[in-house]
């Protein structure tokens, strides 16, 4: 399938740690000649875009089907059977049906996208995902002209997902996007991390990634995609409509009712583990702000 969009940030752009350290020394030297003021922000920006380690990405997760603790998914997700796996695509499509994961993968072009990932709890990571554009899968299903929204559902299998034995959320976990958001080239279905199959705690075999929205929109282990003309229900909005809206665009100016969303802390930041200001649309403003022209984003949060 044709690529509509190329990420201009690739692994090659990420400064290797060693170079980074040398640069720090160079910058420190420059401080003596009066150029030190630029070193701070420059280094902070580089550090912010350095991908998190495999260990960080796979051991600090939110996946309530396996428990509500950050370490629970890494401990329990191995119980999930992901082969065979199929996704039902239904609703307003020309080709409804059950699509096997293998058949989907055979038709898709998988590429790497390094994205910032911002959780509503004000932590963030940078993750080198492998995946394909959701638009390519939707095109395969043939979206009908009346469709306006896309609904997503996670697997329900309490025998393997023990968290589903408790009413922490109303299972299945569900999410939704407006059709234009779903078709946007930044929106991907992720099937890997660092070039390896995506681990079960991160949503194997296939999970959504919408980089300009809070992390909870990025629904894991998807078994159903429904095209509809009505705004689909979303799990966190159903659980607490005052705190979680349908759009959930990363927005430093709209606070969560219980905490500010103006800054974030990158997981594993080490030496630089201070909070940094959160960017509008998580840094993807140029690409996506146009989707919301004329909308009051404080009302549609």
Binding site for ligand MTE (CB under 6 A): 61-65, 119, 154, 173, 202, 215-216, 218-221
Which CB atom, from 43 or from 223, has the smaller least distance to ligand MTE? 223
Q: Minimum distance from CB of 150 to ligand MTE (Å)?
A: 15
Which CB atom, from 30 or from 49, has the smaller least distance to ligand MTE? 49
Q: Where does residue 88 rank: exposed (0-12), middle (13-18), buried (19+ CB within 10 A)? A: middle
Q: Minimum distance from CB of 62 to ligand MTE (Å)?
A: 4
The Cα–Cα gap between 255 and 258 comes to: 8
Q: Which of 119, 5, 139, 3 is nearest to 52 (CA)?
A: 119
Q: Minimum distance from CB of 100 to ligand MTE (Å)?
A: 20
Which CB atom, from 130 or from 218, has the smaller least distance to ligand MTE? 218
Is the separation of the CB atoms in 210 and 218 below 8 Å?
yes
Is the separation of the CB atoms in 217 and 175 below 8 Å?
yes
Q: Minimum distance from CB of 234 to ligand MTE (Å)?
A: 11
Which CB atom, from 223 or from 297, has the smaller least distance to ligand MTE? 223
Determine the residue with CB nearest ligand MTE.
215
- Cβ within 8 Å of residue 137, ≥6 positions away: 89, 104, 108, 189, 225
The Cα–Cα gap between 193 and 49 comes to: 16
Which CB atom, from 205 or from 215, has the smaller least distance to ligand MTE? 215
Q: Minimum distance from CB of 47 to ligand MTE (Å)?
A: 19
């Amino acid at each position: 399938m044709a690529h509509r969009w190329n990420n201009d940030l690739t692994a090659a752009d990420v400064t290797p740690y060693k170079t980074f350290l040398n640069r720090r020394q160079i910058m420190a030297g420059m401080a003596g000649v009066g150029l030190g003021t630029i070193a701070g922000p420059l280094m902070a920006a580089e550090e912010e875009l350095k991908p998190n380690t495999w260990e960080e990405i796979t051991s600090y997760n939110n996946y309530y089907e396996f428990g509500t603790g950050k370490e629970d998914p890494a401990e329990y997700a191995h119980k999930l059977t992901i082969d065979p796996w199929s996704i039902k695509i239904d609703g307003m499509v020309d080709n409804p049906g059950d699509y096997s994961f293998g058949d989907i993968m055979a038709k898709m072009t998988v590429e790497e996208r390094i994205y910032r990932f911002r959780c509503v709890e004000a932590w963030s990571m940078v993750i080198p995902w492998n995946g394909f554009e959701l638009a390519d899968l939707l095109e395969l299903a043939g979206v009908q002209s009346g469709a306006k929204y896309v609904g997503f559902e996670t697997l329900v299998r309490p025998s393997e997902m023990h968290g589903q034995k408790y009413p922490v959320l109303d299972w299945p976990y569900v999410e939704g996007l407006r059709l234009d958001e779903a078709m946007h080239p930044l929106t991907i279905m992720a099937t890997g991390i660092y070039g390896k199959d995506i681990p079960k705690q991160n949503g194997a075999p296939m999970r959504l990634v919408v980089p300009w929205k809070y992390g909870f929109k990025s629904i894991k282990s998807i078994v159903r995609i429904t095209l509809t003309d009505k705004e689909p229900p979303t799990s966190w909005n159903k659980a607490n409509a005052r705190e979680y809206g349908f759009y959930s665009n990363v927005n430093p100016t709209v606070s969560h009712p219980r905490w500010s969303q103006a800054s974030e802390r990158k997981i594993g930041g080490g030496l630089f583990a201070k909070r940094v200001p959160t960017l509008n649309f998580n840094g993807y403003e140029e690409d996506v702000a146009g989707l919301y022209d004329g909308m009051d984003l404080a009302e549609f949060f």
